C-alpha cells in the first residue's frame, strides 16, 4: 500500500510551527515597536493655525513660560493663552506681519484660534501641572527644549513607564522651584543632578504616588 502522505509531509508540522512562531514573533515585535508611545507619539509635530515660534518667544526673547501659560502653577491644566494675551504685545509689535493675520482676525471677530493639541493624556489619566511645577519638576522634563523648537513637537513618550521612571527616581529630575521654567538650567558646577535632586527629595518630603494608582487614575 502506497503511503497516504508523501515524504515531505513529515516535516510539515515543524515547518508550520516555525512559521507561526516567526509570524507571531514578528507581529509581537511590530506591535511592541510600532504601537508604543515612543514610536506613536514622539516627534508628532502638527502644523498650527498660527506659525508661532517658541524658539523666538521663549528662546530668543527669553520670555517666561508662565507669561502665556499663566495658570500652570494653580491648575491641573497648563492653559493655552487667550488671543488677548497675544494682542498684549502684538497690538504694538509686528502689527502688519501677515503671519499674525489669524490672531488679528480672532481678536476682531471674537472667534477663538483653534490650536492643534500635541500632548494628550489618555482619558483615564489625571495629570496635574501645578503639583509638578511647584515641586521642582521642570517644563523641560516632559516637553523637551521647547525654547529651541520653531514648531513644537512631542519630545517625550508620555507612556506610563516613562512617568514612573521619574516617580520612582525623582532625584534624577528635581531642581530648585525657581529654575523650573529655566529650560537651559544645568546643575551648578561641582554638583551632579543626583546630589541636588536627592537633597531636594529629602528637604521637601517629596513622595510622589508610585504604587498608589489613584494618584493618577480616578
Partner 1 sequence: MSKRIFQHPAESQTGKRYWRSLGQLQDTPEFRTWMHREFPQGASELEGNEVSRRGFLQFMGASVALAGLSLSACRRPLKNLVPFTKAVEWSVPGKALFFTSVMPSRNGGLPLVVTTFDGRPTKIEGNPLHPVNQGTTDVWAQSSILDLYDPQRSKGVLAHGKASDYKAFDVELDSLLKAAGDGAGLAFLADGSHSPTRERLRQEILRKFPKAKWASYEANGHELEVAAAALAFGEGSEVVQRLDRADILVTVDRDILGVEGDIAAIRGFAARRKVDGPKTKMNRLYVVENRYTLTGGMSDHRLRLAASRSGAFLKALAKEVAKLSGDQALASLAANLKVADTKFKDKWVEECAADLVANKGKALVLAGRKQPVAVQALAFALNASLGGLGKTLEVRKSTVAPAASIAALAEELRKGATKALFILGGNPVFNAPSDVHWAEAQAKASVVVHLSIEQNETSAKSHWHLPAAHYLEQWEDSLASDGSYVVGQPVIMPLYSGINANELLAKVAGIAADALELVRETFIKVTGAQGDASASWAKTLKSGFAEGSKAKAINASLRTEALAKAMVESAPLRLADNDFELVFITDSKVDDGRYANNGWLQELPDPITKLTWDNAALMSPAAGKKLGVDTGDVVRISVGEKSVDIAALILPGHADDSISVAVGYGRTEVGSIGRSVGVDVFPLMTSSESRFRTGVSVSKTGKRHALAVTQEHGALEGRGADLTRQATAAEWTENAANPNFFKKMGIDAHAPENFSLYTHPPLNDVHAWGMAVDLNSCIGCAACMTACQAENNIPIVGKEQVINGREMHWMRTDRYFASEGGDEDEPEMVSQPMMCQQCENAPCETVCPVNATVHSEDGLNVMAYNRCIGTRYCANNCPFKVRRFNFFDYNQRSITNLYRWNLISEKGTPDTIQMQKNPNVTVRMRGVMEKCTFCVQRIQEAKIAAKVVAKDSGEQPRVPADTFTSACAQVCPTDAIVFGDLRNPQSRLAKLKEDQRGYRLLEYLNTENRVWYLARIRNPNPKMPDASRAGSASKGGHGHGHDGGHGNASSETGGHA
Residue numbers of the site for partner 1 (CB under 8 A)? 40, 44, 46, 71, 73-77, 79-85, 106-107, 110-117, 120, 123-124, 126, 128, 130-131, 134-136, 176-177, 200, 203-205, 207, 209, 211-215, 217-218
Q: Which of 168, 174, 216, 180 is nearest to 196 (CA)?
A: 174
Q: What's the CA gap between 181 and 151, in Å, rounded?
A: 19
Grid cell 543632578 — which residue?
193
Which CB, 94 or 121, lies closer to partner 1?
Answer: 121
Distance CA 68, CA 87 (A): 11
DSSP at 215: G
Contact between 100 and 90 under an 8 Å Cβ cutoff? The reply is: yes
What is the smallest separation between the CB atom of 139 and partner 1, expressed in angstroms? 16
Task: CB nearer to partner 1: give 131 or 161.
Answer: 131
What is the helix (H) or strand (E) element at residue 40, kind and residue range?
A: helix 37-40
CB of 46 to partner 1, least distance (A): 7
* CA 137 to chain centroid: 13
Contact 172, 194 (CB under 8 A): yes
User: Whole-number minimum distance, CB 89 to partner 1, in Å?
Assistant: 15
- Of 58 and 103, the one with the shorter C-beta distance to partner 1 is 103
> Is the Cβ of residue 75 or residue 165 nearer to partner 1 in the bound state?
75
CB of 103 to partner 1, least distance (A): 10
Query: What does the block give as the cell for 41?
Result: 507619539
Spatial separation of the C-alpha atoms in residues 112 and 107, rounded to whole Å: 8
- Nearest distance from C-beta of residue 114 to partner 1, angstroms: 4
Looking at the Cβ atoms of 18 and 126, the one nearer to partner 1 is 126
Amino acid at each position: 500500500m502506497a503511503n497516504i502522505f508523501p515524504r515531505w509531509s513529515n516535516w510539515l508540522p515543524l515547518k508550520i510551527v516555525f512559521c507561526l512562531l516567526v509570524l507571531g514573533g514578528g507581529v509581537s515585535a511590530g506591535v511592541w515597536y510600532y504601537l508604543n508611545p515612543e514610536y506613536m507619539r514622539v516627534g508628532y509635530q502638527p502644523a498650527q493655525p498660527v506659525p508661532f515660534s517658541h524658539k523666538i518667544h521663549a528662546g530668543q526673547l527669553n520670555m517666561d513660560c508662565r507669561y502665556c501659560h499663566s495658570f500652570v502653577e494653580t491648575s491641573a491644566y497648563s492653559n493655552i493663552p487667550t488671543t488677548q494675551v497675544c494682542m498684549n504685545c502684538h497690538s504694538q509689535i509686528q502689527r502688519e506681519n501677515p503671519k499674525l493675520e489669524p490672531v488679528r482676525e480672532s481678536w476682531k471677530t471674537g472667534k477663538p484660534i483653534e490650536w492643534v493639541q500635541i500632548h494628550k493624556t489618555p482619558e483615564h489619566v489625571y495629570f496635574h501641572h501645578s503639583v509638578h511645577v511647584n515641586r521642582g519638576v521642570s517644563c523641560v522634563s516632559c516637553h523637551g527644549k521647547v525654547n529651541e523648537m520653531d514648531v513644537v513637537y512631542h519630545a517625550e513618550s508620555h507612556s506610563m513607564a516613562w512617568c514612573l521612571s521619574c516617580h520612582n527616581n525623582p532625584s534624577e529630575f528635581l531642581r530648585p522651584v525657581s529654575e523650573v521654567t529655566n529650560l537651559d538650567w544645568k546643575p551648578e558646577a561641582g554638583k551632579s543632578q543626583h546630589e541636588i535632586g536627592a537633597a531636594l527629595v529629602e528637604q521637601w518630603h517629596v513622595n510622589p504616588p508610585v504604587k498608589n494608582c489613584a494618584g493618577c487614575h480616578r
